[in-house]
Structure 1
Amino acid sequence: MNKYFTYDPRLHIHLPHLLEEWPAYPSRIQEAILLEWEKIRGTIPDRISEIEEDIEELQASLGQEENFEESCRLNSEISERASRINDLWIWYRTMPEIQ
């Protein structure tokens, strides 16, 4: 299945990496890809929870921070993690069908 997925270091999950249009794959390959995607997809809520915990820690640090530059850095990290959560939810909702 590594042929059809690639690791995304930003999101810390494997994502589909299809070189052809979905309908071009035989149904048995589509089924195998979907099975693997369901396994990966099932890990996304846990990954989101981990990132949310990171954000909470960063927000706590931000609440105590008095240095402006450090506050900006913390805000940037929070924003980046929130962006990851958004991307993970998009991937979570991605569900191709066998054709």
Structure 2
Amino acid sequence: MKYEFVYDERLGIGLPVLHDAWEALTEAERAELLHEWERVRGRIPDRIMQLEKTIVEKQNRLNTEDDFPTSCRLNTEIAELASCITDLHLWFRADQDVSVKGHY
């Protein structure tokens, strides 16, 4: 197989991994890869909404948290979730062809 989609635990989606150069793929393989990427890409907005909901829940907990170490942990978790959202936005906005060729 010249490519595959590997599930990224952090982002919660499958990301394309090329095992050969983009140019080594046939037109049919490129089309298949891009079709699969569009399917994955279409789920990104829902994934972002899930992460945003989790951030709001953690922020609500943080607003009432009196324990400093717990507050620090919640802040760290919120920052990591926000970082995931940023990365998902980048993947969503990347041109299909360029994102597959340029990232790997």
TM-score by structure 1 length? Answer: 0.91
CA distance in 2, matches of 1:93, 1:27: 23
What do the CA deviations read for 1:42-83 (whole angstroms, capped 9, x no partner)? Answer: 000000000000000000000001111000000000000001
Question: Cα distance, 1:19 vs. partner?
Answer: 1.4
| Gap runs ≥5 in structure 1 | none
4+ residue runs over 4 A deviation: none
Q: Which amino acid aligns with 2:57?
A: E
Q: Which residue of 2 aligns with 1:96?
A: 97
Question: Cα distance, 1:21 vs. partner?
Answer: 2.2
Q: Which residue of 1 aligns with 2:49?
A: 49
CA distance in 2, matches of 1:62, 1:47: 23
Q: Which residue of 2 aligns with 1:85?
A: 85
The number of residues matched between the two structures is: 96
Q: Which amino acid aligns with 1:9?
A: E
Q: Which residue of 2 aligns with 1:16?
A: 16
CA distance in 2, matches of 1:23, 1:52: 38
| Gap runs ≥5 in structure 2 | 99-104
Q: Which amino acid aligns with 2:40?
A: I
**Which is richer in helix?**
2
**Percent of pairs identical after alignment?**
47
CA distance in 2, matches of 1:25, 1:93: 23
